[in-house]
Copies of this chain bind each other. A is one copy, B any other.
Amino acid sequence: MTADTSPTGPPSPRRTRLTPERAAELHEAVIDLLCEVGYEGLTMDAVAARTRSSKATLYRQWKGKPQLVASALRHHKPIKVADIDTGTLRGDLLALSAVADPARMEQDMALMRGLGHAVHTNPDLNRALREELIEPETAEMRRLLQRAVDRGELAPDTPAVEFVTHMMLGAFVVRPLIEDRPADPDYLTRFVEAALLPALGL
Tell me, yes or no, whether A149 is within 8 Å of chain B by CB: no
**Copies of this chain held together in the complex:** 2
Contact of A173 among B112, B138, B173, B194 (CB under 8 A): B173
Tell me if A198 is interfacial: C-beta within 8 Å of chain B.
yes
Q: Is the CB of B163 within 8 A of A195?
A: yes
A194: contacting residue among B116, B160, B169, B193, CB under 8 A: B160
The answer to whether A175 touches B171 (Cβ under 8 A) is: no
Residues of B within 8 A of A113 (CB): 117, 120-121
* Nearest CB on B from A54, distance (A): 31
**Cα separation A165 to B191 with both chains bound (whole Å):** 12
Question: Can you report 12 A-B residue pairs in the complex whose CB atoms are below 8 A from each other?
Answer: A116-B119, A130-B180, A138-B178, A159-B195, A160-B198, A166-B170, A166-B174, A166-B175, A166-B178, A167-B170, A167-B195, A173-B177
B171 touches A163 (CB 8 A): yes
A171's partner among B166, B191, B193 (CB-CB below 8 A) is: B166
Chain A contact residues, CB within 8 Å of chain B: 38, 109, 112-113, 116-117, 119-121, 126, 130, 134, 138, 159-160, 162-163, 165-167, 169-171, 173-178, 180, 191, 193-196, 198-201
Cα distance A165–B171 when bound, in Å? 10
- A196's contact among B119, B121, B138, B199, by CB below 8 Å, is which? B199
In the complex, chain B residues whose CB is within 8 Å of the CB of A175: 166
Note all chain B residues with C-beta closer than 8 A to A117: 38, 113, 116-117
A117, A119, A195: residue with the most chain B Cβ atoms closer than 10 Å: A195
Of the residues B121, B169, B200, contact of A178 by C-beta under 8 Å:
B169
Q: How distant is A120 from chain B, measured CB to nearest CB, in Å?
A: 4
Residue of B nearest to A191 (CB): B163
